[in-house]
Structure 1
Amino acid sequence: MTNIKKIVIAPDSFKESMAAIEVADAIERGFAKVFPNTTVYDKIPMADGGEGTTEALVNALNASYRKVSVKNPINKTITASYGYAYETNTAIIDMASASGLDLIAEEDKNPLITTSYGTGQLINDAIEQGAQHIILGIGGSATNDGGVGMLSALGCKFLDSDNQTLKAGGAALAKLSHIDMSNLNPKLKDTTIEVACDVTNPLLGKYGASEIYGRQKGATEDMIKQLDAALTRYHDVIEQQLNVSVKDIEGAGAAGGLGTGLLAFLNANLAKGIDIVLKETQFTQRVKDADLVITGEGKMDHQTIYGKTPIGVSHAAQRFNVPVIAIAGSLGEGYQAVYEHGISSVFSILQQPCSLSDALENGRQYMEQTAENIARLLLIDKNHNN
């Protein structure tokens, strides 16, 4: 490669090791040791809807964090935070910060009773701040309640045949008789909700929320059947009252059926996380005059091609024929599949066998060294062509 004047650095975070901006900084340091100081580096921290998405979007939108007292999945009060950009009245919310699996102990994992109420509290707070646009990440949930907890916090009432409010959790939905939406927060009508959703599961059945994700949330085989039956009842009532059917829409089963609640009640738009981040960071405009793109993620393997950050970045760069190099913490089975998606070359930062703790602790150093080696390789090509 010759005449590299602008490099776009757009990595994902490296889980438990480096935030995306730290990865980008290390790559820049490595290249700066080799390339002239006139080289322009445009660092764009990326994410694909999972860990680091809120951070990437807060950075991109010049947002700040708000702390809110909310209920966690087992109804205990905690402090959760979300991003808010006052310039554009945009909120960036990660449901895992209020309703995530990591918030509760192993022995407390029970999707029969866990609730998404805290996520609704975060949405409410954002609306009261004046949010007109909410970006909601829904990965890592501890719940299987169809979003009923979230909707309850927003003013909906879910009632049984005796007109009593249902208990929290997925199991109670088996007793759902009717839904009272009269107190749903009216400000929601003026708010666009965009959901970062990277799963395509329907709500029910073999590939549904309960069957595919219930076990990791603490469900036994019997509980999975119970939860699926309860969600079936939930959707039956939605069809009867709202005259809509969303159960088979891709993503309806995301986050324990939260996707269904968002689609049916809040008219939300579900999109791939990487697509949302690319749009909000104005990646297309920033990459079109670049000479090289560097991307990466903690582990690259055969799953990388399914909506992960390096592929989203590569597809966007391909539109302008900008070459892409990827750097990974480690390379797993089938990583070569990325070559069919526009990535020219892949490098691992691990230069010798080492322990996981060593790799995590020294990630910045290894990243910087790898970036420098790549830069020197590109410089050889430049000098040879000259």
Structure 2
Amino acid sequence: MKIVIAPDSFKGSLTSVEASKIIDKALKDFDPHIETVQIPMADGGEGTVDAVLWNRGGDMVSCRVCDPFGRIIVAQYGWLEEKKTAIIETAAASGLPLLDKAELDPERASSFGTGELIKEALDKGAEKIILGLGGSATIDGGTGLFQALGVKFFDENLNELSWLGGRLDRISAMDPTGLDPRLPSVKITIASDVTNPLLGSDGAVTVFGPQKGLSASQLEIFEKGMRSFAELVARQTGKSMVNEPGSGAAGGIGFLMRTLLVVEFRSGLEMIAEMAGLAKQLEDADLVLTGEGRIDGQSLFGKVPVGIGRLAKGAGVPVIAFAGSIGPGTEHLEYEGVNVVMPMSEGPTSLSEAMLHSEKLLYNASMRLMKIVRIGSMA
């Protein structure tokens, strides 16, 4: 039996690489003769660097940058020396995991640190940059990122604004002439499975604002500021990218990347699947195991397990997905190639307890699954 192991991260507890190793160990402990292929996955968000480095090799580079509030931290990005390629996650310097839930504040949070990571990669000689958009704590329209790369923003009195954060209504002018001159010669690929536009009911503020700390009363204020900023950018550049798919990714970073640079948007999942040769591995696979922290009806919109299900369905391979928690709508996943969603829990427990013991729970769930598979093969 050949089993392809292709999980996403179980956010807050296990990376996709760690989850893949745990599932693999359980399968080998159950039956050493099972052939396994580990292909840790990501969708452009947290875990993208780990997944790319696992599947393609390379090194992790550490550097000192600003976190969402301007505090100095050590963040990492991936580096493929042979390809002169940097793999950067917005989550590494500007991500939600860097902040406690009580301190979430999109008004202060800036993507400046992500721009610093890009600058570090340029200094290292990057000829290609893969930027994973996902997991950001920011709704700054990418202004912080581009400030780190030389773009200036001004208030109504033409005073330069330093640390902007998410109050985009303060911007009255933009000067992009200082943009790092090395960027136009670098191939930039945006890895993201978020297809939201910048504005409106499906936009960066409305959809992602609440999880980043916006209250219901703040949504209209931030949406108005984002709209005002988008109009200013359109006037100055002659480009309107607000409705382009992915412009709302990572708090609007996708919007300004599309406007000020020449970039290619790709599905993070499809990009990593291609790097790892997933299609080839599916040709003779008997089963695919995937999973993530929570699976529900929303998983249909760009989540890794469903993406894996669709790829495997085309190859005629069944898929089982492990889930830390299960919500409404999972019955619809079967039509997308995810045949079974298997919970990891072993009884009533709190989220914090489940996350604390996630390694053990995933191992045990994998063992239970293999016993079911064995019974099925005997029938």
For residue 82 of structure 2, what is the aligned residue in structure 1? 87
Structure 2 CA distance for aligned equivalents of residues 123 and 289 of structure 1: 40
Give yes or no for contact 1:155–1:184 (8 Å, CA) kept in 2: yes
- Compared with structure 1, are the counterparts of its residues 257 and 280 closer, same or farther at alpha carbon in structure 2 (3 Å cutoff)? same
Which residues of structure 1 form unaligned runs of 5+? none
- Compared with structure 1, are the counterparts of its residues 221 and 17 closer, same or farther at alpha carbon in structure 2 (3 Å cutoff)? closer
- Compared with structure 1, are the counterparts of its residues 110 and 379 closer, same or farther at alpha carbon in structure 2 (3 Å cutoff)? closer
- Compared with structure 1, are the counterparts of its residues 368 and 118 closer, same or farther at alpha carbon in structure 2 (3 Å cutoff)? closer
State the identity %.
37
| Larger CA deviation: 135-144 vs 105-114 | 105-114
Determine which of 163, 167, 182 is the counterpart of 1:168. 163
Structure 1 CA distance for aligned equivalents of residues 102 and 82 of structure 2: 43
For residue 69 of structure 2, what is the aligned residue in structure 1? 74
| CA distances 1:295-333 after superposition (whole Å, capped 9, x unpaired) | 122222222222211111121122221222222233332
| Larger CA deviation: 295-304 vs 266-275 | 266-275
Determine which of 6, 12, 18 is the counterpart of 2:8. 12
- Compared with structure 1, are the counterparts of its residues 207 and 129 closer, same or farther at alpha carbon in structure 2 (3 Å cutoff)? same
- Compared with structure 1, are the counterparts of its residues 221 and 302 closer, same or farther at alpha carbon in structure 2 (3 Å cutoff)? closer
Give yes or no for contact 1:144–1:169 (8 Å, CA) kept in 2: no
| CA distances 1:190-237 after superposition (whole Å, capped 9, x unpaired) | 222222334333223444333333344444566544433332332223
DSSP-derived class of the 1:368 partner: helix
DSSP-derived class of the 2:40 partner: coil
Give yes or no for contact 1:143–1:169 (8 Å, CA) kept in 2: no
Q: TM-score, normalised by structure 1?
A: 0.87
Determine which of 90, 99, 123 is the counterpart of 2:94. 99
DSSP-derived class of the 2:332 partner: helix
Structure 1 CA distance for aligned equivalents of residues 66 and 162 of structure 2: 15
For residue 240 of structure 1, what is the aligned residue in structure 2? 235
- Compared with structure 1, are the counterparts of its residues 205 and 337 closer, same or farther at alpha carbon in structure 2 (3 Å cutoff)? closer
Compute the displacement of 1:356 (Å). Answer: 4.1
Q: What are the within-5 Å matches in structure 2 for residues 296-335 of structure 1?
A: 296-335=291-330
Structure 2 CA distance for aligned equivalents of residues 116 and 194 of structure 1: 18
For residue 140 of structure 2, what is the aligned residue in structure 1? 145
- Compared with structure 1, are the counterparts of its residues 229 and 358 closer, same or farther at alpha carbon in structure 2 (3 Å cutoff)? closer
Matching residue's letter, 1:121: E
For residue 54 of structure 1, what is the aligned residue in structure 2? 49
Give yes or no for contact 1:247–1:260 (8 Å, CA) kept in 2: yes
For residue 263 of structure 2, what is the aligned residue in structure 1? 268
- Compared with structure 1, are the counterparts of its residues 33 and 225 closer, same or farther at alpha carbon in structure 2 (3 Å cutoff)? closer
- Compared with structure 1, are the counterparts of its residues 8 and 181 closer, same or farther at alpha carbon in structure 2 (3 Å cutoff)? same
Determine which of 251, 268, 277 is the counterpart of 2:272. 277
Q: What are the within-5 Å matches in structure 2 for residues 192-211 of structure 1?
A: 192-211=187-206
DSSP-derived class of the 2:315 partner: coil
DSSP-derived class of the 1:166 partner: coil
Structure 1 CA distance for aligned equivalents of residues 32 and 169 of structure 2: 66
For residue 29 of structure 1, what is the aligned residue in structure 2? 25
Give yes or no for contact 2:43–2:192 (8 Å, CA) kept in 1: no
Structure 2 CA distance for aligned equivalents of residues 65 and 206 of structure 1: 38
For residue 182 of structure 1, what is the aligned residue in structure 2? 177
- Compared with structure 1, are the counterparts of its residues 263 and 376 closer, same or farther at alpha carbon in structure 2 (3 Å cutoff)? same
Which residues of structure 2 form unaligned runs of 5+? none
| CA distances 1:257-282 after superposition (whole Å, capped 9, x unpaired) | 21111110122233333223222322
Determine which of 95, 110, 117 is the counterpart of 1:115. 110
- Compared with structure 1, are the counterparts of its residues 217 and 169 closer, same or farther at alpha carbon in structure 2 (3 Å cutoff)? farther
DSSP-derived class of the 1:343 partner: coil
RMSD: 2.7
Structure 1 CA distance for aligned equivalents of residues 197 and 230 of structure 2: 12
Give yes or no for contact 2:198–2:204 (8 Å, CA) kept in 1: yes
- Compared with structure 1, are the counterparts of its residues 379 and 138 closer, same or farther at alpha carbon in structure 2 (3 Å cutoff)? same
| Larger CA deviation: 301-310 vs 162-171 | 162-171
Determine which of 369, 372, 378 is the counterpart of 1:377. 372
Give yes or no for contact 1:83–1:92 (8 Å, CA) kept in 2: yes
For residue 288 of structure 2, what is the aligned residue in structure 1? 293
Structure 2 CA distance for aligned equivalents of residues 155 and 305 of structure 1: 38
- Compared with structure 1, are the counterparts of its residues 310 and 86 closer, same or farther at alpha carbon in structure 2 (3 Å cutoff)? same
DSSP-derived class of the 1:11 partner: coil
Structure 2 CA distance for aligned equivalents of residues 357 and 74 of structure 1: 26
| Larger CA deviation: 281-290 vs 211-220 | 211-220
Larger radius of gyration: 1
Give yes or no for contact 1:166–1:172 (8 Å, CA) kept in 2: no
Structure 2 CA distance for aligned equivalents of residues 326 and 23 of structure 1: 12
| CA distances 1:317-372 after superposition (whole Å, capped 9, x unpaired) | 22221222222233332222211111233322334444545533443333333333
Matching residue's letter, 2:302: G
| Larger CA deviation: 165-174 vs 51-60 | 165-174
Give yes or no for contact 2:46–2:91 (8 Å, CA) kept in 1: no
Compute the displacement of 1:251 (Å). Answer: 2.2
Structure 1 CA distance for aligned equivalents of residues 102 and 154 of structure 2: 29
DSSP-derived class of the 1:186 partner: coil
Structure 2 CA distance for aligned equivalents of residues 274 and 350 of structure 1: 26
Give yes or no for contact 2:167–2:222 (8 Å, CA) kept in 1: no
